[in-house]
Amino acid sequence: MSKVSPKRYTVGFKHVGAAYDEALMLFKELNERGSWDKVVNAAYEENFLKKRSSKWIQVLLRYTKKRYFRKNSLLPEGNFLTNFLNAVNSNQARIQALFQYICESHPLVDRLVVGLVGSNLKSYNSFRLTKPFYSDFISKEAEVHPELNEWADYTREKWRRDFYAFLRSSGLMEKHPSTLVKKFIIKPETFAFFLYNLIDKGLSPSEIFGSHLWKRYFLTQEDIEEKLSECQVKGWLQYRSLGTIYELVPEFSSLGMWIDAIE
DSSP codes of every residue in 27-70: HHHHHHH-SHHHHHHHHHHT-TT--S-HHHHHHHHHHHHHHHSS
pLDDT at 72: 74
Give the amino acid at 46. E
Beta strands in 72-187 (DSSP E): 126-128, 180-182
In this structure, the number of other CB atoms found within 10 A of the CB of residue 51 comes to: 16
Q: Helix (H, G, I), strand (E, B), or coil: what is residue 240?
A: strand
pLDDT at 59: 93
Which pTM was predicted? Answer: 0.95
pLDDT at 14: 81
| Each residue's pLDDT expressed in tens, for the chain with a length of 263 residues | 444 457 889 888 888 889 999 999 999 999 999 999 999 999 999 999 999 999 999 999 999 999 999 887 789 999 999 999 999 999 999 999 999 999 999 999 999 999 999 999 998 889 999 999 999 999 999 999 999 999 999 999 999 999 999 999 999 999 999 999 999 999 999 999 999 999 999 999 889 999 999 999 999 999 999 999 999 999 999 998 877 777 899 999 999 999 999 97
d(CA 1, CA 172): 40
Give me the DSSP letters along 118-133: IHHHHH-SEEE--HHH
Give the amino acid at 247. E
d(CA 205, CA 64): 32
d(CA 5, CA 58): 32
d(CA 48, CA 54): 12
